[in-house]
Amino acid sequence: MKIGLKKFLGRDAPIAYLFILPNFLWVAVFTVYSVFYGFYLSFHDWNLVSPNKVFVGFNNYINIIKDPLFHKVLINTVIFTIWTVPVGMLISLLLAILLNGNIPGKNLFRSAYFFPVIAPIAAVAQVWIWIYEPTYGILNWVLNKFGIQSVAWLSDPKWAMPAVIIFSIWKGLGYNMVLYLAALQDVPRTLYEAAQIDGAGRFAQFRYVTLPGIQPATFFVLINSIIGSFQTFNQIYIMTRGGPLDATNVLAYYLYQNAFQFFKVGYGSAVAFILFGILFAFTILLWLRYIRTE
């Protein structure tokens, strides 16, 4: 009997399961259980301290969808994503391509581009607040030099979102660049040589060799960037607290406000699941498109 069990579970069964136990225990509690628990909470009205949670059905979801602030928050999140993701991807791809050639000081460049990625966001967001300062900030000074009027970047509802977007692109550029650089180096040399023999110019080589070669990386960067962008919180909290007049209030910040400032636990959980639903749909859609083009 014992030998049969051993045969069924594999040679190293008891000790192997013991070795993976911590990871699975943690995932069971902090991911699997949490997802279900969060889903359960999203159908309740609860303030964290009261002993009983009131079942409210879909009310939280209905109230969110009816909330004018939520509409604004959703639009803000989409605007933030539409700017940071494509612009960030384009610049990082361009930099990676330029850096991929035979460039002196290549490693130094790469280090410089990567630095914003590893710098603590709380610290660099502070410098950017200082850079964006309306009267003495260096950004307005540079703009003035080009004859452009000063802008009250973070305190003007019109300019706060662009300011946060510029900061976010700056912060994330190096991450995608490193991924692109690795992908570019994986495109086989022989493909370029073959294309050259066939008379393909620089542009044709880029179009028909480079772009298809880095497609998996582009796909990964795209999904990763969208997921990250929809969950943006830190720079919003540090630089604007969602203001002025909710001009930079985004989904993750709205969730934070409801769940952790107003202690509307059920409502906050429902926001989380709407966010989850959007990201899930996005990922599936992109996957399907990707598989079709493969």
Partner 1 sequence: MRQKNNLVRFLILIILSFGAFTSILPIIWMFLTSIKPMDEVFTYPPKWLPSRIVLSNYIEAWKEAPWERYFLNSIIYSGSVIIGQVITSLLAGYAFSKLQFRGRNLLFILYIGTMMIPGQVTIVPIFVILSKLKWIDTYQGLIVPGLTTAFGTFLFRQFFVSIPTDLQEAALVDGASHLYILRKIFVPLSRPAIITLVVFTFMGTWNDFFWPLIVTNSTEMRTVQIGLTAFQSQYGGVQWSYMMAAAMFVTLPVILLYLFAQRYFVEGITLTGIKG
51-90 binders of partner 1 (CB under 8 A): none
118 binds partner 1 (CB under 8 A): yes
217 binds partner 1 (CB under 8 A): yes
Contact code string over 221-260 relative to partner 1, x by CB under 8 A: x-xx--x--xx-xx--xx------------xx--x---xx
Q: Total binding residues for partner 1 by CB under 8 A? A: 96
Angle at 233 between CA 232 and CA 239, to 5 degrees: 115
Nearer to partner 1, 107 or 293 (CB): 107
Q: Residue 4 Cβ, how far from partner 1 at the closest point, in Å?
A: 13
Neighbours of 188 (CB within 10 A): 10
262 binds partner 1 (CB under 8 A): no
Q: Residue 203 Cβ, how far from partner 1 at the closest point, in Å?
A: 13
CB burial class (10 A; 0-12, 13-18, 19+) of residue 78?
middle
19: alpha, beta or left? (left if phi > 0; alpha if psi -120 to 50): alpha
| Residue 222: strand pairing partners | none
Nearer to partner 1, 117 or 200 (CB): 117
Nearer to partner 1, 29 or 82 (CB): 29
Neighbours of 14 (CB within 10 A): 11
Do 53 and 266 form a contact (C-beta atoms < 8 A)?
yes
Distance CA 271, CA 258 (A): 9
Q: Residue 43 Cβ, how far from partner 1 at the closest point, in Å?
A: 13
Q: Residue 197 Cβ, how far from partner 1 at the closest point, in Å?
A: 19
93 binds partner 1 (CB under 8 A): no
Q: Residue 230 Cβ, how far from partner 1 at the closest point, in Å?
A: 8
Cis geometry, peptide bond prior to residue 212 (ω within 30 degrees of 0): no
Half-sphere exposure of 283 (CA within 13 A, CB side): 14
Contact code string over 164-193 relative to partner 1, x by CB under 8 A: ------x--xxx--xx--xx----------
Nearer to partner 1, 31 or 58 (CB): 31
Nearer to partner 1, 85 or 221 (CB): 221
Among 4, 22, 51, 57, the residue binding partner 1 under the rule CB under 8 A is 22
124 binds partner 1 (CB under 8 A): yes
Which CA distances in Å does 172 have to 106, 114, 215? 19, 9, 20
Residue 44: its H or E element: strand 44-45
